[in-house]
Amino acid sequence: MNTGPFSFICLKIVRWTGWLLLPMVTAFFATGYAISGRYGFGAFTDEQTALELHKLMHLPLVILVVAHVVPSTYLAFIRWGWIKPHPKA
């Protein structure tokens, strides 16, 4: 089933944001653990630096999550038949 160029663009956005989210979420967890000193992550950086890095990651993380979830949900709705795909332009 050909779902058109909009679905193709959504799929590309989902793939790219998924790959970008992997290191972002890993770094977010790592800085969070460094702040709390858990699991030896405090050895990588001091608490203040980890806190500043952690704070800087909030906005990019939210943007990436929204950019990943919205097209993913749209594509899921198409798969489930809840909405009709856009016709080919």
Task: Note down pLDDT in tens along the chain; length 89 residues.
Answer: 456 788 899 999 999 999 999 999 999 999 998 888 778 777 778 888 999 999 999 999 999 999 999 999 999 998 888 887 666 65
Q: How far apart are CA 52 and CA 45, in angstroms?
A: 11
Phi/psi region, residue 74 (left: phi>0; alpha: psi -120 to 50; beta: rest), is alpha
Which tokens sit at 52? 């500043």
- Give whole-number Cα distances, 17 to 14, 45, 59, 68, 75, in Å: 5, 27, 14, 6, 15
Provide the whole-model pTM: 0.80
